[in-house]
Amino acid sequence: MSAGLPGVASAGSLFVFAGAGASFAMPAALPLFDPMRNDILRQLRLHEYVPGEDPHRPELERITEGLAPEPFMLALRESGVDVEGWLARTLRPTDPAPARPNAVHVALAQLAGAGAAVWTVNFDTLIEEADPSLRVVAWREAASTPGEIYKPHGSLPGPLIVTADAVLAGLRDDWRRALADAVRGRTVVFLGYSGRDFDFQPLWDDVLTDAARVIWFDRPSGDPEAAEQERARRRRLLRRCVERDALVVAESENPSVGFVAWCRGNGLVTMSDDEVKRLEEKRPERSFPPLAGDLGRAEASIRGILGDWHGAVRVNLRRLRQEPGRRQTAVDLVAQTVNNAGRWVTVPLWAVARTPVLPGRVRTVAERKRLTAHSRLGNHRQVLRGTRRTDETSLSTLLILRALSLRITGDLDAAAETAAEAHRRALRETNDVRVAHAAYQRAQALLWAERLAECRLCLDEELRPAAGLAAARWVAWADFIEAGIALHEGNAREAARHYELARLRFEGEGSIDGQVSVQTALLALCRMTDPGRFAATLATLETIRAAKTAQTATYFTRGHPFTDEAVLVERAEHARVHEGDLAHAARLYGQVAGSRYPLQRSLGLLGAGMIAVERGTDRGALTRARDLAGRIGARLVTQHATEALGLPSGERPREVFHC
């Protein structure tokens, strides 16, 4: 038995859940997703996104990090690429040698035959090849069907759950009940599994409440910070197991070897030492099969999920001259233009939405696109007017737009509640982008409301999983929220790391709006860690904001007063605390105190009131800030205002960090 790991009496007391890592070692040597993704990018002539292949644009390498396999596969399938056929050829390689069951597959087959519950999200058939007598139950079969191996994502050559929309649909009820029954009272073992599957991740904490214990075989990260972050994520994923001290993590450079050694040590499996040693053999270089289908359309689709809509438009303009598929290309071009256009698009969309002779569905879509454009441009009163009549049948998009506008113009708690309802509807609609957008709006509202524990749960359980399924920009916004939580908690190092990840991703996809958001937040981080760099950070921000929109960049909210006022708050607080220039700080805070946005107005009043405390003058602004913040759910402002009201005259109130 492996040292330090709990033992088990029999295979019948085990539930084993295997991920892609189980098929990684020799002689199976099947690829993980990253090399598959890189090959897809190369075949679509997107070399700049492959790590190490474009030294002139290193920020583009970060775009694909954090994206799950499913959005790539969905984009390919919707472009007419035979995704299942490509996966079948990839996962049944013959060059340079056929994939054969390794010691892990042999162990899993023996465990299944001896009464263990064995589940895997792998599509390959290597476990059953190790013992052809085993009965496999794979999606879409009923999970109540008797068997020894269960494959909830499907099995080759049958139907597979491989795209974002399928994963968003969640685990079917019969499979969910079967999972709960399978783990009850058993020792649960995870092997070669990240715990990031969108359909399983929300279930594990509840399902594993009835497990005897959990043993997770995993590979340690070489980066200490990343390793600790992963441990923290796993602890949050399995909170109840951690609370009852039922989680054991077994880290080793080769988790497959550790798992097989543990099985052998408990007398659960029998195999030769030579079979085990093969797990550590060097893997051969395998080639990938060519994609089959309209690769031009696939390139445009993949560019879209990577945030390069300008590049997608260029590809489709080139394809307009080609047959067949010219009509579909024109449709794609119109959708790309409408979905990403600026101010000019609102007028024609308004006209379409109000033309009675057009079909109702066309007018409804046009109105939704019009409100989306207004939201991008920061026209929040237009959005609130257009979404005031939402009902139970309204699409999640309208609630998402309303939540964003409520967050900017009104009640943060109402914004969080509206976004939560939008998230529930988006899940029913199985739309990856809407799910991610709703989760982001909820997380941002909770962060501004200083509901940090709820924000962390939303990030871990809703935003992070959905962001990976949606598009690169949502991974960037998830990093932005992660950094904001760290900054509010005073963890400057973690905040800096995630702001840098978000910045690189926004820069790579050409989103100036995202870059401005990050750079504005970095002003607060500078004040916390290195006030001497505040001026340089502010200069960088102003350079970004002043830049003309490049061919590969978008800046929808250029010159929007909400952003201007956020910068004024940072400048004012820096002047108050780090320069001791109360007169300058008072002028800046005075401008913000007159804002039409309640959140900014409350921050301006707070700043004016804190200056009054230092000067020993009337503190009425603090009372007004506290009352306004209480009405809109801005708890950070309420806390600072209440605290400052209790200070003696002449004392400096503590610094405010809001992002």
Q: What is the DSSP code string of 390-432?
A: --TTS-HHHHHHHHHHHHHHS-HHHHHHHHHHHHHHHHHHT-H
The CA distance from 342 to 37, in Å, is 32
From the list 170, 174, 166, 167, the residue with the least C-alpha distance to 203 is 170
Tokens encoding 375: 């939201």
Its sign, for the CA torsion 486, 634, 387, 399, is positive
Tally Cβ neighbours within 10 Å of residue 224: 9
What does the pLDDT read at residue 549?
56
In this structure, what token pair is assigned to residue 275? Answer: 């079979």
User: What are the distances in angstroms from CA 360 to CA 367, 551, 627?
Assistant: 11, 35, 45
**Which regions of the chain are under pLDDT 70?**
1-3, 548-553
Cα distances from 595 to residues 250, 377, 558, 585, 628, in angstroms, run: 55, 18, 18, 16, 13
| Cα–Cα distance list, 176 to 143, 180, 239, 457 (Å) | 9, 6, 19, 22
Smallest CA-to-CA distance from 299 within 37, 38, 36, 40 is with 40
Q: Length of the chain, please?
A: 659
pLDDT score at 2: 54
pLDDT at res. 1: 44
Tell me the C-alpha distance between 7 and 367, whole Å: 62
Give, for 457, the enclosing helix (H) or strand (E): helix 452-458
> Is the entire prediction scored with pTM above 0.85?
yes
What would the pLDDT profile of 600-621 be if each residue is shown by its tens digit?
999 999 999 999 999 999 999 9
Residue with tokens 């003058």: 617
